[in-house]
A and B are shown apart, each in its own frame.
Chain A
Amino acid sequence: MASAAPAKTMPWVEKYRPRRMDDVAHQDEAVRALKKAMETGNLPHLLFYGPPGTGKTSTIHAAAAELYGPTLVKKLKMELNASDERGIQVVREKIKNFASGVVGSSAAVADADGKMHAAPAFKLIILDEADSLTSAAQTALRRTMEVHSKVTRFCLICNYVSRIIEPLVSRCAVFRFKPLAPEAMRSRLQHIAEGEKLVLAEATYDALLRISHGDMRKAITTMQSGAALFGGDLSPAQVIEAAGELPDPMADRILNVVAKTDFRQVQTAAKDTALSGYSMAAVVDKLFDRVVGAADMSDLVKAGMLERLARASRAVAEGCDEHLHMLDLLLAMQRCQHGWVVPTDSDPDAGEL
């Protein structure tokens, strides 16, 4: 696993993954509650949820390492994630095998880290990416959790708590992992930069924070890639490029042609945007920001455009043809801008399904 690799070939996200719970930034609530529970030896089943790159996986692995110590952890922790075979049968079987066999019989052991680790009375099963478990598998899990609850604790991890069935949620202590606050991210990034002997401008940190929206992993990956590609004089514009965001000049051009009355120009702009490779999601995000902040548009025009952007965003999520939808979006925005109406705007057949 990761620990065997020479440090050189390690992405920073792994190299600087929090090893101890105290290293986890900005998730004080979850960390405090976990520590408390571990001290009292009274650990409930856990459910962590929150957006990508906020420390869910890191926290539980750090907790397990502190709880069991480096030797026992191999025996007492099991992880199942979306890459594993997770049919009901397989999950049940794996959990059964893992849970069988006694725990806590061995006395406290002095471990390689020099600390004493009292063998706790339970094993830990981490179900990472639990939101990709089918609801049939989740239903089966209810029973499994109960059967083995004497000797095991479960930790379910997911991005969307709404994808976990209610009976499972109610069996767990639920912790929400928040997007990281700017200050927390900045100091973590600076800590890593120090370790890597990298000096970056303040404005570059600002850009990193802005593009990552609280996703620590995205910030770290972008910083490492940027440093590898551009070196220490990584500029804010290059950060934006590395993050794949639509740059302002391109958004300017789109808004300009939309404000004119010519079809052909909109068509060319849509095509150029698509051919430049920017994803439609990036285009929609950027235009959304720009329309909301536009000083020279009436509220009515803005409302119309935002409605169109919302529709486009849904189409993107459904995996639409981006060339066609880009053109349609820009034309619809042009109509909003000029107060034009065509029959398809009010025809339910031409609207969303």
Chain B
Amino acid sequence: MLWVDKHRPTSLDKMDYHKDLSSRLSSLAAHGEIPHLMFFGPAGAGKKTRVMATLRALFGAGVEKMRLNHRSFKTPTNRTLEITTVSSNYHVEINPSDVGSGDRFVVQEVIKEMAQSGSMAAAASVRGLASTPSAAGSEEASSSSSSSSSSSSSSAAAAAAGAAAAGSSRGGRATFKVVVLTDVDRLSREAQAALRRTMELYTSSCRIILICESASRVIEPVRSRCLALRIAAPTQPEIMNVLDAVAKKEGVELPKAFAAKLSRASERNLRRAVLMLEASKISNYPFTPAQMPQTMDWQRYIEALAGDIAGAQSPGSLLAARGKLYSLLINCVPADVILRTLCHCLCTRAPNDFARHQIVSWATAMEGRLRAGSKEIFHLEAFVARAMQVLKGVALQMAELQAASAAAAPAASV
């Protein structure tokens, strides 16, 4: 298991940073009652970890008994949609953008299913039949669609029994189920619109937790139905603390200076920082003072590409750049990440601010086209061409100025 997963804290009081937020979440969960929630913040800031810890605070350890289901749904228009869900007896997690344009249908089906099984669990626990409802609920869930559940029914039943025990120890207060939707910023408008009334109609038996990077991409009527929780990226010292703790648990000697380098290179992305720590350990341990953090291959590749572009601006170097862009795309580096990273590296190498302002403008313009268009390579290449044009222009200008001042100097001395 990777260190990032192995050392993921599971309870709110073990969260290493944003302690305020954690304690507020605990007090929220202590009511046995949450509104719909929306967690938003940059990648690697720990949104998912906090969601899971909140669920644990609500339902007890039973939420960690999770199973993976490969589900398939048939739409009324006879399209078959496949999706993988992760669920416990208390919640189900899906990434609806996995199914593309059928996302609305899948989201609705899953919510309805959970809302129904949720109210059954609630009703039964009132009657004191705490051990049956969740098992019945989950069985119905898997049989109602032509799913091939990867878990055997006996393990599900065992999980249910354990969960029921945990539930009763908490007084069975939370009577609703939770649907966790990840990457909602990639959810279609249609699916978001469909969430509106659903979030109102099923509130008694079902809560929805939305996770996204950008709150702007969630439509206003959905946002106004949730309590929004902002999860900022951890600061560099906070990352260093986490790295230190992970290193201790793994029995690895981590000098402060190297931890600082790692946290700087991670750009405040905690997941990346821990991954880099593990990769660096594999590539060279014990750590030496001169050692550089093991960054991702693609990052180094883009840095080198920026070096090429800054080094020579000509049709030949444009052609060479195209080859490199292609190999990045073939290796599944997303085009927007390439564009953003390349822009950043070029700004570092550009000779002056005049060039930097223009490079950023071009990158932004091409980002728009990237989204609107279909052939990514066109727009990436156009950006490289524009960046070369800017750099060449600035270089010529500087040469001219130099020549002028060289010409002016002897004249002045006469």
User: Which residue of the partner chain, among B104, B174, B203, B360, contacts A327 with CB atoms under 8 Å?
Assistant: B360
User: Once bound together, how far apart are the Cα atoms of A289 and B216, in whole Å?
Assistant: 18
Beyond A9-B204, A10-B204, whether A87 also contacts B76 by CB under 8 A is: yes
Bin chain B's interface residue count. Answer: 35 or more
Q: From A131, which residue of chain B is reached at the shortest CB distance?
A: B193
Interface of chain A residues 269 through 288 with chain B (CB within 8 A): 274-282
CB of B204 within 8 A of CB of A277, answer: no
CB of A320 within 8 A of CB of B196, answer: no
Q: From A217, which residue of chain B is reached at the shortest CB distance?
A: B224
User: Once bound together, how far apart are the Cα atoms of A179 and B317, in whole Å?
Assistant: 57
Q: Most chain-A CB neighbours within 10 Å: which of B194, B214, B221? A: B214
Distance to closest chain B CB from A97 (angstroms): 16
User: Once bound together, how far apart are the Cα atoms of A144 and B362, in whole Å?
Assistant: 51
Q: Mark B192-213, 1 if CB is under 8 A from A, else 0.
A: 0111111011011100000000
* Chain A interface SS verdict (over half): helix
CB of A244 within 8 A of CB of B175, answer: no
CB of A318 within 8 A of CB of B371, answer: yes
CB of A81 within 8 A of CB of B221, answer: no
CB of B365 within 8 A of CB of A221, answer: no
Beyond A1-B201, A81-B197, A277-B41, whether A225 also contacts B35 by CB under 8 A is: yes
Distance to closest chain A CB from B103 (angstroms): 12
User: Once bound together, how far apart are the Cα atoms of A52 and B199, in whole Å?
Assistant: 14
User: Once bound together, how far apart are the Cα atoms of A317 and B397, in whole Å?
Assistant: 38
CB of A229 within 8 A of CB of B27, answer: yes
User: Which residue of the partner chain, among A53, A275, A282, contacts B42 with CB atoms under 8 Å?
Assistant: A275
Q: Mark A195-235, 1 if CB is under 8 A from B, else 0.
A: 00000000000000000000101100110110011100000
Tally of chain A residues near chain B (CB < 8 A): 75
- What 12 new A-B contacts, CB under 8 Å, besides A81-B194, A228-B35, A230-B24? A129-B196, A218-B224, A244-B40, A277-B231, A319-B185, A319-B371, A324-B364, A325-B364, A331-B357, A342-B354, A342-B358, A352-B368
Q: From B35, which residue of chain A is reached at the shortest CB distance?
A: A11
Task: Flag whether B66 is at the interface (Cβ < 8 A).
Answer: no
B residues in contact with A5, CB < 8 Å: 175, 203-205
CB of B231 within 8 A of CB of A129, answer: no
Interface of chain B residues 255 through 299 with chain A (CB within 8 A): 267-268
Q: Which of B78-86, B158-166, B335-343 contacts A (4 or more CB under 8 A)?
A: B335-343
Beyond A83-B195, A276-B233, whether A350 also contacts B361 by CB under 8 A is: yes
A residues in contact with B232, CB < 8 Å: 275-277
A residues in contact with B304, CB < 8 Å: none
> Can you identify 11 A-B contacts, CB atoms within 8 angstroms?
A1-B204, A13-B200, A229-B24, A244-B215, A279-B40, A320-B368, A321-B336, A324-B360, A324-B364, A343-B393, A349-B365
B residues in contact with A276, CB < 8 Å: 230, 232-233
Task: Flag whether A115 is at the interface (Cβ < 8 A).
Answer: no
A residues in contact with B108, CB < 8 Å: 83
Task: Flag whether B15 is at the interface (Cβ < 8 A).
Answer: no
CB of A324 within 8 A of CB of B28, answer: no
A residues in contact with B195, CB < 8 Å: 83
Q: From B204, which residue of chain A is reached at the shortest CB distance?
A: A5
B residues in contact with A13, CB < 8 Å: 200, 225
User: Which residue of the partner chain, among B32, B42, B226, contacts A274 with CB atoms under 8 Å?
Assistant: B42
* Chain B interface SS verdict (over half): helix
Task: Flag whether B74 is at the interface (Cβ < 8 A).
Answer: no
User: Which residue of the partner chain, among A9, A52, A322, contacts B175 with CB atoms under 8 Å?
Assistant: A9
Which 4 A-B pairs rank lowest in CB-CB distance, beginning with the nearest?
Answer: A5-B204, A277-B41, A225-B227, A344-B361
A residues in contact with B217, CB < 8 Å: 319
Beyond A83-B194, A276-B233, whether A229 also contacts B28 by CB under 8 A is: yes
Task: Flag whether A119 is at the interface (Cβ < 8 A).
Answer: no
CB of A277 within 8 A of CB of B40, answer: yes
Task: Flag whether B228 is at the interface (Cβ < 8 A).
Answer: yes
Task: Flag whether A132 is at the interface (Cβ < 8 A).
Answer: yes
B residues in contact with A279, CB < 8 Å: 40, 214-216
User: Once bound together, how far apart are the Cα atoms of A328 and B40, in whole Å?
Assistant: 22
CB of A14 within 8 A of CB of B369, answer: no
Task: Flag whether B119 is at the interface (Cβ < 8 A).
Answer: yes
A residues in contact with B226, CB < 8 Å: 221
B residues in contact with A349, CB < 8 Å: 365
Q: From B111, which residue of chain A is reached at the shortest CB distance?
A: A83
User: Once bound together, how far apart are the Cα atoms of A344 and B361, in whole Å?
Assistant: 7
A residues in contact with B32, CB < 8 Å: 8-9
User: Once bound together, how far apart are the Cα atoms of A159 and B196, in whole Å?
Assistant: 12
B residues in contact with A4, CB < 8 Å: 119, 204
Distance to closest chain A CB from B168 (angstroms): 17
Q: Mark B30-61, 1 if CB is under 8 A from A, else 0.
A: 01110110001110010000000000000000
A residues in contact with B31, CB < 8 Å: 228
CB of B45 within 8 A of CB of A8, answer: no
Task: Flag whether A293 is at the interface (Cβ < 8 A).
Answer: no
Task: Flag whether B347 is at the interface (Cβ < 8 A).
Answer: yes
CB of B216 within 8 A of CB of A281, answer: yes
Q: Most chain-A CB neighbours within 10 Å: which of B196, B233, B343? A: B196
Beyond A90-B76, A221-B225, A324-B367, whether A82 also contacts B193 by CB under 8 A is: yes
User: Once bound together, how far apart are the Cα atoms of A331 and B361, in whole Å?
Assistant: 9
Interface of chain B residues 347 through 386 with chain A (CB within 8 A): 347, 353-354, 356-358, 360-365, 367-369, 371-372
Task: Flag whether A315 is at the interface (Cβ < 8 A).
Answer: yes
CB of B356 within 8 A of CB of A263, answer: yes
Q: From A224, which residue of chain B is reached at the shortest CB distance?
A: B35
Q: From A238, which residue of chain B is reached at the shortest CB distance?
A: B24
Task: Flag whether A6 is at the interface (Cβ < 8 A).
Answer: yes
Q: From B359, which residue of chain A is reached at the shortest CB distance?
A: A344
A residues in contact with B367, CB < 8 Å: 320-321, 324-325
B residues in contact with A350, CB < 8 Å: 361-362, 365
Beyond A85-B76, A282-B215, A352-B368, whether A221 also contacts B227 by CB under 8 A is: yes
A residues in contact with B36, CB < 8 Å: 11
Distance to closest chain A CB from B397 (angstroms): 11
CB of B361 within 8 A of CB of A277, answer: no
Task: Flag whether A302 is at the interface (Cβ < 8 A).
Answer: no
A residues in contact with B220, CB < 8 Å: 52
Task: Flag whether A43 is at the interface (Cβ < 8 A).
Answer: no
User: Once bound together, how far apart are the Cα atoms of A85 and B232, in whole Å?
Assistant: 38
User: Once bound together, how far apart are the Cα atoms of A85 and B77, in whole Å?
Assistant: 10
User: Once bound together, how far apart are the Cα atoms of A278 and B40, in whole Å?
Assistant: 8
Distance to closest chain B CB from A307 (angstroms): 14
Q: Most chain-A CB neighbours within 10 Å: which of B340, B362, B364? A: B364
User: Once bound together, how far apart are the Cα atoms of A340 and B347, in whole Å?
Assistant: 18
Distance to closest chain A CB from B51 (angstroms): 15
